[in-house]
């Protein structure tokens, strides 16, 4: 192989230096500036994207804070509405309970009055029936009917004795 021939090393080294210099000049003047421009453009785009992302993050955080505050305000309003509704319902329940108590009190009083009238009526009817039975029994036993006043007095005395 001719590359390994020591007599041709000098020209090969000269051509190596010339090729390296041309390649170095080409890379330094043409390729590296373009690569540098592409890297700078990419870095600017990345920096811009990061700044924009940071702005969007701060805006999102501000919106999240506003949303949280709106939710807190809505909860506070809902709690106030519930508190007012409970108060109204409590007042309404108290009012209705008073009305029902009043109505029941009047119905109880009316029922007691009817019971008392019924009791008095039953007792007066009972007095008449007892008087008739007593008069009839005395007439059968004695053979003569006692007077209405005598039987009425005896029945009244017996009834007073029973109720006291």
Tens of pLDDT along 83-137?
999 999 999 999 999 999 999 999 999 999 999 999 888 877 877 888 888 888 8
Q: Are 154 and 134 contacting, i.e. CB atoms less than 8 angstroms apart?
A: yes
Reported in sequence order, the residue ranges of the chain that DSSP labels E, i.e. its strands, are: none
Quick one: pLDDT band at residue 163, thresholds 50, 70, 90?
A: low
Q: Are 131 and 152 in contact (CB under 8 A)?
A: yes
What is the three-class DSSP state of 143? coil
Q: What is the pTM of this model?
A: 0.43
pLDDT value for 20: 96
Helix (H, G, I), strand (E, B) or coil at 41: helix
């Amino acid at each position: 192989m001719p590359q390994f021939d020591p007599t041709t090393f000098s020209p090969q080294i000269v051509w190596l230096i010339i090729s390296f210099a041309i390649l170095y000049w080409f890379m330094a003047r043409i390729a590296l500036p373009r690569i540098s421009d592409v890297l700078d453009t990419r870095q600017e785009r990345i920096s811009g994207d990061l700044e924009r992302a940071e702005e969007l993050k701060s805006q999102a955080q501000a919106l999240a804070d506003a949303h949280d505050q709106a939710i807190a305000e809505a909860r506070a309003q809902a709690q106030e509405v519930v508190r007012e509704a409970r108060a109204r319902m409590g007042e309404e329940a108290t009012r209705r309970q008073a009305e029902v108590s009043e109505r029941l009190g009047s119905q109880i009083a009316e029922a007691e009055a009817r019971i008392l009238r019924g009791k008095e009526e039953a007792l007066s009817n009972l007095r008449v029936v007892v008087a008739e039975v007593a008069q009839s029994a005395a007439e059968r036993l004695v053979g003569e009917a006692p007077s209405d006043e005598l039987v009425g007095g005896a029945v009244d005395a017996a009834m007073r004795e029973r109720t006291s």
